[in-house]
Amino acid sequence: MLIKIGKKSDLKESEVTPQSLFDQRRQFIKKAAGYSVAAATLSLPFSAMAALNLNPFQKENSSLSDELTARKHVVSYNNFYEFGTDKKDPAAHAGSLKTDPWSVTVAGECAKPGVYALEDLVKPHAFEERIYRLRCVEAWSMVIPWIGFPLADLIKQMQPTSKARYVEFTTLHDPQQMPGQKRSVLDWPYIEALRMDEAMNPLSLMAVGLYGEVLPNQNGAPLRLVLPWKYGFKSIKSIVKIRFSETQPRTTWNLSGPGEYGFYANVNPEVDHPRWSQSRERRIGEFRKRKTQMFNGYAEEVAHMYRGMNLKRNF
């Protein structure tokens, strides 16, 4: 499958990632070239990809009939409180984030802890394209073509011990680069976590790009998590630390509002947010609302992990 990239002239200037930031992250992708067809292909100019007639990405969920959300919405309407609480703040302020060089600290119950340069962390893995729905707790959603690799592959790379029952992720904490952190709207740094079986689920994705390009800053560059069956706040952005633990970590939104944001945060139309219903959602770019699907439509792949659990109590 080849990805069709629209002409730059088709977009407003405000919707295009600044070329300087794009080039910085492209250098990281180039460093990964040679380790897989996907990585090597992504490092090439997209016009060259077409000329090579390669099939660089594996498309997951090919039966997904949802129309893709327009790129202009994906890069301009975001929750990323590190850059501000308004949906437009990340696109307006994320240019201050420097993503090259970037490192990730791996710690806790694993055989290979350490500080990894981003390219060393991702280069053993082949990139794939996966078209996933993203459902946010405010009852809006998008359909996005992500580029990344399975979180399970990274976990296997780090060799967790038998004591590792959870995986914790931490976002960069740097108020100079992330001006939203100068306000105490949350207890920084941002932390999220998964049970080990959730982290190893084939749907869990470590994303490095979207729409055939590297991640824009406002979408969580240079490395973020994508968990399509959970509300969007679980898909943590700009990751700088991964820790394996025996006990359940305390996570940012669960600490901030335990009655509103559960640890599991599975999309569930039967469990409302205290201030609004979760039974319906609005796809960004559309006016009509649609019914929210259990587990965001991914029940076949994930429901078995919660069998026997009370999903109204464990929300």
State which residues form the domain around 179. Answer: 57-306
What is the identity of the amino acid at 90?
P
Whether residue 181 is contained in a domain is answered as: yes
Choice between 223 and 30, residue whose per-residue pLDDT is larger: 223
Flag whether 243 is in a domain: yes
The per-residue pLDDT of the chain, averaged, comes to 84
Beta bridge partners of 170: 191, 241
Whether 133 has a pLDDT exceeding 50, the answer reads: yes
Q: What is the pLDDT of residue 221?
A: 96
Q: According to the model, what pLDDT value does residue 34 have? A: 31
The CATH number of whichever domain residue 125 belongs to comes to 3.90.420.10
Structure-model confidence comparison of residues 63 and 234, the more confident one: 234
According to DSSP, residue 4 is labeled P
Cα–Cα dist 177/117, whole Å? 19
Q: In the predicted model, what is the mean pLDDT of residues 155-175? A: 98
- Taking 60 as the threshold, does the pLDDT of residue 33 lie above it? no
Q: In the beta sheet, which residues pair with residue 226?
A: 205
The yes-or-no verdict on residue 53 having pLDDT over 80 is no
Q: How many domains does the chain have?
A: 1
**Phi, psi (5° rounding) for residue 140?**
-120, 160
Q: pLDDT value at position 65?
A: 66
Backbone angles phi, psi at 23, to 5 degrees: -65, -40
Distance CA 299, CA 267 (A): 10
Q: Parallel, antiparallel, or unpaired: how do β-strands 59-60 and 224-226 relate?
A: unpaired
13 belongs to a structural domain: no
Question: pLDDT tens digits for 64-102?
Answer: 568 999 999 999 999 999 999 999 999 999 999 999 999
Q: Is the pLDDT of residue 284 over 50?
A: yes
* Residue 204 maps to a domain: yes
| In-domain check, residue 126 | yes
Q: Does residue 175 form part of some domain?
A: yes
Q: Indicate whether 43 belongs to any domain.
A: no
Helix (H, G, I), strand (E, B) or coil at 269: coil
Which stretch of 12-26, 101-115, 163-177, 263-277 has the lowest confidence by average pLDDT?
Answer: 12-26
In a domain, 174, yes or no: yes
